[in-house]
């Protein structure tokens, strides 16, 4: 069975076409900067094709991706009928979805109903679902939710200190996100070290970013909350704020809730402080040229990540392994090193030579470091494909 996995991020579309007989990736790629200077990186048979093709939205991006899967010069498939099923990453399952489900119209409606909790991502995912229905009608599709992995977080950690009636009435609580990534990385490091009793702090640092404390394979604390805007500052999301900042700005600027939400999700974070870009690579380049606001943005980012790591070490009463994953975590060497400098008091020691790599699975701490530090490239797509295969085959 061949499964196409679609992962629609806020400004990106990742995909993998996987042969589930051997879990071999036939081809994969990432559409970056959707809505800006878009480009697609498509990989097949060890070859990489970087294609500059501006698109305005995820529907246009997916259309172009399918064209590349069918490209006669480097075909992944000869026709779309070779794709047996499609798995979709969905950011927010709210209290409705406790696990992965086969997609039907009721599921799509429920995902849409939850969109107010993930206004950047859930609508993008629905666009991806609708595009697949149009391009490949009748194909079975599965929704895999980022929130599912965090259902094991204790109640005292997911309950917000607001009137309790709102928890019952509106299901307001911490949900957590990037669940498929945190699940994959924690399982992978457990395999590498041949231990199931690990205390792991995984740093998923990408366009969106979250930190997760994982004890014995289960999520016990995470930085994102009711929505993906919470936690550390991200490329364009604010992360945690004094709530009065929101109400103060809404009053002073006469903003609607929708306008304020857009500021928090699209105009804040590293971009808000630096004013440079929503891409960490651009901000790092500006910082190296002496841009003071870019330098400030990166300093706050690294400090915040290190702070959550320290907090989660407390939550688990210790930590065995710190892992870095996702676009920034896997590739930004300097950011990893600077975060770990804050943690030297915990006995963290980084080997600069080991840490010089990008996008590789590697231990970057010294052999005498009290806490091991690893880079583990995430594979959310494989997790989604496995769940898709299971549900399409009618397995529990």
In the predicted structure, residue 9 carries a pLDDT above the cut 80: no
Helix residue ranges, H only, 82-154: 105-113, 122-135
d(CA 82, CA 18) in angstroms, rounded, equals: 11
Asked if residue 178 has pLDDT above 90, the reply is yes
For residue 334, the surrounding DSSP H or E stretch is helix 333-341
Token pair 């979250």: residue: 210
CA 41 to the chain's CA centroid: 18
Q: Decide if pLDDT at 280 tops 80.
A: yes
pLDDT of residue 105: 97
Q: Which residues pair with 5 in a beta bridge?
A: 16, 87
Please, where in the chain does CATH 3.30.420.40 lie? 2-145, 193-375
Provide DSSP, 218-278.
EEEEES--SSTT-SS--SS---S--HHHHHHHHHHHT--HHHHHHHHHHS-HHHHHH-S-S
Using one digit for the tens of pLDDT, what is the confidence trace for 29-49?
Answer: 999 988 888 999 999 999 999
Q: Is 80 exceeded by the pLDDT of residue 13?
A: yes
User: Torsion over CA of 123, 101, 225 and 197, rounded to 10 degrees?
Assistant: -140
Going by pLDDT thresholds of 50, 70 and 90, the confidence category of residue 377 is: very high
Write down the CATH number for the domain with range 2-145.
3.30.420.40
Cα–Cα distance between 373 and 357 in angstroms, integer? 14
pLDDT band at 120 (very low <50, low <70, confident <90, very high): confident
Largest separation between any pair of C-alpha atoms in the chain:
61
Q: At 273, list the tokens.
A: 């402080």
Residue pair 275/293 in contact by the 8 Å Cβ criterion: yes
SS3 257: helix
Q: For the domain made up of 193-375, give the CATH fold.
A: Nucleotidyltransferase; domain 5 (3.30.420)
Annotated active-site residue 146? The verdict is yes
- Pairing type for strands 2-8 and 141-145 reads unpaired
User: Given a cut of 90, is residue 165 above it in pLDDT?
Assistant: yes
CA–CA dist 387, 140 (Å, integer): 13
Q: For 43-61, what is the mean pLDDT? A: 92
DSSP string, 297-318: HHHHHHHHHHHHHHHHHHHTTS
Among residues 63, 112, 113, 146, the one annotated as catalytic is 146
């Amino acid at each position: 069975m061949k499964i196409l996995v679609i992962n629609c991020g806020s400004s990106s579309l990742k995909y993998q076409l996987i042969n589930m007989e051997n879990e071999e990736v036939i081809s994969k790629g990432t559409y970056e900067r959707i809505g800006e200077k878009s480009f697609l990186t498509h990989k097949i048979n060890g070859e990489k094709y970087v294609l500059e093709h501006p698109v305005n939205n995820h529907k246009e991006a997916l259309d172009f991706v399918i064209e590349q899967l069918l490209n006669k010069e480097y075909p992944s498939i000869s026709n779309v009928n070779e794709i047996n099923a499609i798995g979709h990453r969905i950011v927010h399952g709210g209290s409705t979805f406790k696990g992965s489900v086969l997609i039907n119209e009721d599921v799509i409606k429920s995902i849409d109903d939850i969109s107010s909790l993930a206004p950047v991502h859930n609508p993008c995912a629905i666009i991806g679902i609708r595009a697949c229905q149009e391009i490949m009608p009748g194909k079975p599709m599965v929704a895999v939710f980022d929130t599912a992995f965090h259902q094991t977080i204790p109640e005292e950690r997911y309950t917000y200190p607001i009137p309790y009636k709102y928890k019952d009435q509106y299901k307001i609580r911490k949900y957590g996100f990037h669940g498929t990534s945190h699940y994959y990385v924690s399982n992978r490091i457990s395999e590498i070290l041949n231990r199931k009793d690990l205390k792991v702090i995984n740093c998923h640092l990408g366009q969106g970013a979250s930190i997760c404390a994982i004890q014995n394979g289960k999520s016990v604390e995470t930085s994102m909350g009711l929505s993906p805007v919470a936690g550390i500052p991200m490329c364009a999301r604010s992360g945690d704020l004094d709530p009065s900042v929101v109400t103060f700005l809404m009053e002073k600027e006469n903003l609607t809730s929708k306008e304020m939400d857009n500021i928090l999700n699209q105009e804040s974070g590293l971009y808000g402080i630096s004013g440079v870009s929503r891409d960490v690579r651009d901000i790092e380049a500006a910082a190296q040229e002496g841009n003071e606001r870019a330098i400030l943005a990166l300093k706050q980012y690294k400090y915040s990540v290190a702070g959550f790591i320290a907090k989660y070490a407390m939550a688990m009463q210790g930590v065995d392994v710190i892992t870095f994953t996702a676009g920034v975590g896997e590739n930004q060497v300097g950011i990893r090193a600077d975060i770990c400098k804050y943690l030297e008091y915990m006995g963290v020691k980084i080997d600069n030579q080991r840490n010089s790599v990008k996008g590789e699975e590697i231990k970057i701490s010294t052999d005498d470091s009290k806490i091991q530090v690893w880079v583990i490239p995430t594979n959310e797509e494989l997790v989604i494909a496995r769940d898709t295969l299971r549900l399409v085959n009618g397995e529990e």
